[in-house]
Chain A
């Protein structure tokens, strides 16, 4: 069995009885047990649950009523609530928290027959771009163990890159699916805001959070998206008419000739000449596939990172108020009074980055600062959204780099503002609520380089058609880390 197989190949294997779902799950569970000591990509491994689900999938496969995902293993970011299994969100605060319900995304994937291997490591409360802020220790990049896998969905990205799972879920608030996908050489999709239900996802920034799939190929992303997306009455911000559900079909059909925009503001910020060369080669591939590439402008790009950190921190500061040590989660020892209970439970339960964002966000919402920060950020957010809408009047999609650098060494970036600059290419799409598909575009010094395709609201199938086209013409997505090959 090849641990780096795509979902499509594994589904074939199951269908043709080369192996059973139980054998497949056991194979990955054994690999996790053997190899994850090195990468720390899982917080919780759910062997029993996986084997039970796999046995049920085998019955379903034999009964002939399987869906394309039946019996295929998946790992969930530890931000998705899973009934009866700890959901820590990478925080000491929720170290012992077990939700009595499944997130809608988990419910949908379970219903499609996917087999849950476990819960993946992440930056605490999804706040970070390196997976260094987890209470459970940093995640290591399978391409170079001294480097970060990106974040916050770095556990999912690393598990994919190390061949510990063929599929994973992630969440993306400002780049948390796409940036780790880029650093780890895998694919990830941040769907349109409202496409995948947020119910059961521990909230970071409600107006930005989106769950999405991570996998080895764009075709696999499509399979997962079709299963995860959909209107959910339990999430008031989920779209009634969102994803068309035809991503898998789009992935198997060559994209018609499209106009693809290259935002000049992004390219001028891509200062590393090696990465610029990789991007230029990817651009040529799209041209060779018959697409027209034109320069476009997204004039408010430079304000995106600041805008994002005001909006996201403001929302996070109140979303995290519920973690007060009163009803569940970490509670300090022997509180002397209520204030002491609050202060020590939260001081002990939250890590430094989470505290920083709570303080920043509280400040931005305070009387006297609200207009200058929160309101202004909301206005700029609208301008950024309008930039995208205007651009999509002229082009069908945008092609941009995903990150300004390749994976950096663990511990290298200690200045938070420098860390926030990691998100420069990913936060604009988050603020605009538009979908963005991240996929490998090449390699530099043995490390993966990524690019993203960004489209209008609910154009996931179009982005997937384009991405699948690219992957039919290239083989960057077939590379595996040398240490594991």
Chain B
């Protein structure tokens, strides 16, 4: 039988606020356990939550970016359950009236087509702490630094049809939240995680199958693999005459499989009710308009602009816009060099390769956009050759000095391109005269020997010779010989 997969994702985005959603504790990553947990975060009696306005603004920014309805009045609820890393015994979340209502994103697929994925809602909530099961023999350690971190949970409709689409959706969400500056997007630090609701049904039917929920996926690859495995598992269960159980599963990336975490047969009762320590949040139209007006250019818009205004290929435009830091760097390079294609080539070529080699993020580039832009401009002006530019790029990277001027460097090292006909002709003359054997071969094997002579000339000029001039002068010299 043909099976169709149905997937909905819940993406948890950790908002990039400086302090937690309801307390003044820092949201910085990597602090010693329990050093960023205030009296509220550890739920001492008498403490009260105070809503972080920045978290509200970020949620509204997201809503506006996906064309969603923003609730002008939303309410926080308590979700009650006992767990050691949930200090209050309840999580403050939004149940009945989320801050962001229905919206959508246009999912770009590998074949270049796009498909609309509906977003049901997005709501604000606080994160729980961490239970550390290793390092404490027979006991569990609790780290409450993460307790109270602001989260935006983005819930999609079951509009995704395979693991690749799900990964593309997660990736696109990852791009969007970084563009609008509401999340640092650092997957390794848990800044974005997602839960996948997966079910299968016979192709061509409309009724949804029984779904399972795979929890806490924090990479695009794991998401894709976890779904692929879960789909295969569900199909096998059904084809063997069994029934898929409604349950929560965990993906084990080491063993590359999903396994049962807890059954949902007895559905959880979280006893949701409105959080009496917080008043309803009233958001007026003026606030929403202001957020809308300050929305930066979104990835989709940027990509179109690169293709239409900068005449870049779709492929280049996509690669440049996937990461807002890369796009930002590209635009800075472009503003100095005024050469879109050359800037794109550099950034997608040597620059990216160098970052990868040193395992650095774009923002940690040792060469500044001004320096790279100047390099490109000097090549275009004919001051230096492309070859010299590449070696200059390497030395700029090694120097890692943002104040180093490209022009000074060129002058100091005497790297200006040699375009002087007289000077070049003299060099060529010397080389032609020193290699009579190769001159003889030139008559039978033109291209190969031309290559040999160009190489010799470049060597003699340390790559500074103007390649076009070398070419024409060389042909002239060889044919006259």
Contact = CB atoms under 8 A, between A and B. Distances in A.
Contact of A234 (B50, B87, B272): B50
Given A322-B87, A365-B80, A202 B46 contact: yes
Given A236-B277, A366-B269, A322 B88 contact: yes
A186 to B, nearest CB: 25
Contacts of A324: 82, 84, 89
Interface string B120-151: 00000000000000000000101000000000
B290 interface: no
Contact of A322 (B45, B140, B269): B45
A326 interface: yes
A103 interface: yes
Contacts of B267: 367
Contacts, number: 98
A321 B88 contact: yes
A103 B46 CA distance: 8
Interface in B166-196: none
A201 B272 CA distance: 24
Interface string B26-64: 000000000000010011111111110000000000000
A431 interface: no
A84 to B, nearest CB: 14
Nearest to A205: B276
A236 B271 contact: no
Contacts of A233: 50
Contacts of B273: 314, 318, 365, 370, 374
A283 B186 CA distance: 70
Among A100, A327, A328, max chain B CB count under 10 A is at A327
A235 B51 CA distance: 10
B378 interface: no
B277 A206 contact: yes
A322 B82 CA distance: 9
A324 B50 CA distance: 23
Interface string B304-334: 0000000000000000000000000000000
A454 B47 CA distance: 29
B346 interface: no
A342 B277 contact: no
B397 interface: no
Q: Which of B50, B271, B279 has the most CB of A within 10 A?
A: B271
Contacts of A94: 45
A200 B89 contact: no
A457 interface: no
Interface string A187-224: 00000000000111111011100000000000000000
A120 B78 CA distance: 31
Interface in B246-280: 267, 269, 271-273, 276-279
Contacts of B48: 198-199, 234-236
Nearest to A238: B48
B282 to A, nearest CB: 13
A99 interface: yes
A37 interface: no
Contacts of B277: 203, 206, 236-237
B45 A97 contact: yes
B89 A322 contact: yes
Contacts of B44: 99-101, 328
A314 B88 CA distance: 15
A321 B80 contact: yes
Given A94-B45, A318-B89, A236 B279 contact: yes
Interface string A7-33: 000000000000000000000000000
A206 B273 CA distance: 13
A116 interface: no
B90 interface: yes
Contacts of B272: 365
Contacts of B42: 327-328
A203 B44 CA distance: 11
A237 B46 contact: no
B89 A237 contact: no
For chain A, the bracket of interface size reads 35 or more
Given A321-B88, A321-B90, A362-B271, A99 B82 contact: no
Contacts of B45: 81, 87, 89, 94, 97, 99, 202-203, 322-323
A315 interface: yes
Interface string A74-88: 000000110000010
A234 B277 CA distance: 11
A372 interface: no
B46 A201 contact: yes
Contact of B49 (A89, A236, A374): A236
Nearest to A235: B48
A194 B201 CA distance: 54
Interface in A417-441: none
Nearest to B42: A327
A234 B44 CA distance: 14
Given A103-B46, A321-B89, A315 B271 contact: no
Nearest to A202: B45
Nearest to B49: A236
Interface in A314-334: 314-315, 317-318, 321-324, 326-328
B279 A365 contact: no
Given A89-B45, A200-B46, A326 B84 contact: yes
Contacts of B140: 338
A215 to B, nearest CB: 23
Contacts of A80: 46
B129 to A, nearest CB: 10
Interface in A334-382: 338, 342, 362, 365-367, 370, 374
B276 A206 contact: yes
Nearest to A339: B82
Contacts of A198: 46, 48
Nearest to A361: B271
B46 A318 contact: no
Nearest to B273: A365
Given A365-B273, A366-B271, A237 B84 contact: no
Nearest to B140: A338
A97 B82 CA distance: 21
A317 B47 CA distance: 17
Contacts of A366: 269, 271
A100 B40 CA distance: 12
Contacts of A321: 80, 82, 88-90
Nearest to B78: A318
Interface in B67-94: 78, 80, 82, 84, 87-90
Contact of A207 (B46, B80, B276): B276
Given A206-B276, A318-B89, A321-B90, A199 B47 contact: yes
A10 B88 CA distance: 43
Nearest to A79: B46
A327 B45 CA distance: 11
Contacts of A100: 39, 44
Smallest CB-CB A-B distances: 4 pairs:
A321-B89, A206-B276, A365-B271, A207-B276
Interface of A: 80-81, 87, 89, 94, 97, 99-101, 103, 198-203, 205-207, 233-237, 314-315, 317-318, 321-324, 326-328, 338, 342, 362, 365-367, 370, 374
20 contacts: A99-B45, A100-B44, A101-B44, A199-B48, A201-B46, A236-B51, A237-B276, A314-B273, A318-B89, A318-B271, A321-B80, A321-B89, A321-B90, A324-B82, A326-B84, A327-B87, A327-B142, A338-B84, A342-B82, A370-B271
Given A199-B47, A236-B279, A314-B273, 13 more contacts: A99-B46, A100-B39, A203-B46, A233-B50, A236-B278, A321-B89, A322-B87, A323-B45, A326-B87, A327-B43, A338-B84, A370-B271, A370-B273
